[in-house]
Amino acid sequence: MSNIILKVTTNQMNMMKEAYRPFLVQKPIPYTHFSAKKNGTTITAYTSGKVMFQGTGAEQEAAKWGNPLTAKKSTQTNSSSLPKDLQTLSVLGSDEVGNGSYFGPLTVCAAYVDQTQLKELRTLGVKDSKELKDGQIIQLAKVLKETIPYQLLVLPPKKYNEIQPTYNAVRMKVALHNQAIHLLLQKIAPVKPDAILIDQFTPEANFKKYARLEKNQLTEKLYFVTKGEQYHLAVAAASIISRASFLEELDKESAELGLTLPSGAGTKSDQVAATILKKGGEALLANYAKLHFANTEKAKKLVN
């Protein structure tokens, strides 16, 4: 059985935890940030900054993040490598919502904010969607859709489950970001943004590896940074539109089922999933939930 150890940065650690959220092991382990099990591989992230991969697929899984006992510095873009005065430039930004939620779709939005619109967006109250209440997000999204060019892609659970066996969670997000940005660039042509800023969810090299598999691969003026909404309002706007779409879709699904579908992937999700399984089995659940999450097995245990 392979045993691979990586030394990673704090930002990489946070990205890894987000990427493995569907596979997290809830049992606490001392001196760890998280532990996850995916396709026969156990991933254990220690507070020391080291991450251990154990299992038959350890080498393949670890290769997504770096080389053994080295931090993959070349794949981590930090704020110092971003264009000077980025916050004042005309930028196309992208962000996604729903990746960590068992129920509901995966939504990705690319939004273009011209430098002449920055003041207007600040006046509207555009900022990190995490600082806004759901009602504010929905109202702001309606205004933004009338104010700036954007491209929204919504991947419903049923389609998500169909492609998930061949598209892992990271590749899926890369494909959606890549396509949303490509379509938006076509919409705003011949205008070209000063920069394309992606809210980073995987190392840059990993993003580009998966992007090369796409028909319309993006290559120019790409920048990656975590918490991108803090660096430009284009990412904040994209996050708000994505979040509003996710909430609206979750409400629609809840109305269809006659059950309130929670966001996130906690015990409430297990309980609701168990109710759906009793109602229509896994075939029904597949229309509303991301089946590869650990919640599915937990719900089955509740049913039994």
Cα 210 to its chain centre, rounded Å, is 15
Strands 222-225 and 195-199 turn out to be: parallel
Q: Is 194 annotated as a binding residue?
A: no
Q: Mapping DSSP to helix (H, G, I), strand (E, B) and coil, where does residue 197 land?
A: strand
Confidence of residue 79 (pLDDT cuts 50, 70, 90): low
Which one, of 54, 46, 6, lies nearest residue 29 by Cα? 46
For residue 231 the two structure tokens come to 């660096």
Q: In the predicted model, is pLDDT for residue 128 greater than 70?
A: yes
For 170-197, how does the pLDDT look when each residue is reduced to its tens digit (9 = 90+)? Answer: 899 999 999 999 999 999 999 999 999 9
Architecture in CATH of 2-76? 2-Layer Sandwich (3.30)
Which one, of 130, 153, 165, lies nearest residue 290 by Cα? 165
Q: How far apart are CA 57 and CA 258, in angstroms?
A: 40
Confidence of residue 80 (pLDDT cuts 50, 70, 90): low
What pTM was computed for the model? Answer: 0.78
Residue 48: Cβ within 10 Å count: 10
Which residue reads 């080291």 in tokens?
50
Q: In the predicted model, is pLDDT for residue 76 greater than 80?
A: no
The two counts, helices (H) then strands (E), for the chain are 10, 9
Q: Is 199 annotated as a binding residue?
A: yes
Phi/psi of residue 89, each to 5°?
A: -90, 170
- The domain locations on the chain are 2-76, 80-251
Q: In the predicted model, is pLDDT for residue 8 greater than 90?
A: no
Read off the pLDDT of each residue in 90-116 and give the average, rounded to a whole number. Answer: 96
Q: How far apart are CA 4 and CA 53, in angstroms?
A: 5
DSSP category for residue 262: P
The pLDDT, as a whole number, for residue 179 is: 97
Q: Which of 198-202, 238-242, 247-251, 254-258 has the lowest mean pLDDT?
A: 198-202
Q: Is 96 annotated as a binding residue?
A: yes
Q: What is the CA radius of gyration of the chain?
A: 20
Architecture in CATH of 80-251? 2-Layer Sandwich (3.30)
Helix (H) or strand (E) holding 101: none
Q: How far apart are CA 178 and CA 157, in angstroms?
A: 20
Q: How far apart are CA 29 and CA 8, in angstroms?
A: 19
Q: In the predicted model, is pLDDT for residue 69 greater than 60?
A: no
204-210 long-range contacts (CB < 8 A, ≥24 apart) are 204/74, 204/75, 204/76, 204/77, 205/72, 205/74, 205/75, 206/64, 206/65, 206/75, 206/170, 207/174, 207/177, 210/170, 210/171, 210/174, 210/175
Phi/psi of residue 165, each to 5°?
A: -60, -30
Question: Residue 225 forms beta bridges with which residues?
Answer: 199
Q: In the predicted model, is pLDDT for residue 294 greater than 50?
A: yes
| Selected residue with higher pLDDT from 154 and 41 | 154
Q: How far apart are CA 169 and CA 153, in angstroms?
A: 16
Mean pLDDT for all residues in the chain: 89
Read off the pLDDT of each residue in 204-212 and give the average, rounded to a whole number. Answer: 90
Q: How far apart are CA 27 and CA 147, in angstroms?
A: 46
Q: Answer for the pair 33, 50: CB distance below 8 angstroms, yes or no.
A: no
Residue 249: Cβ within 10 Å count: 20
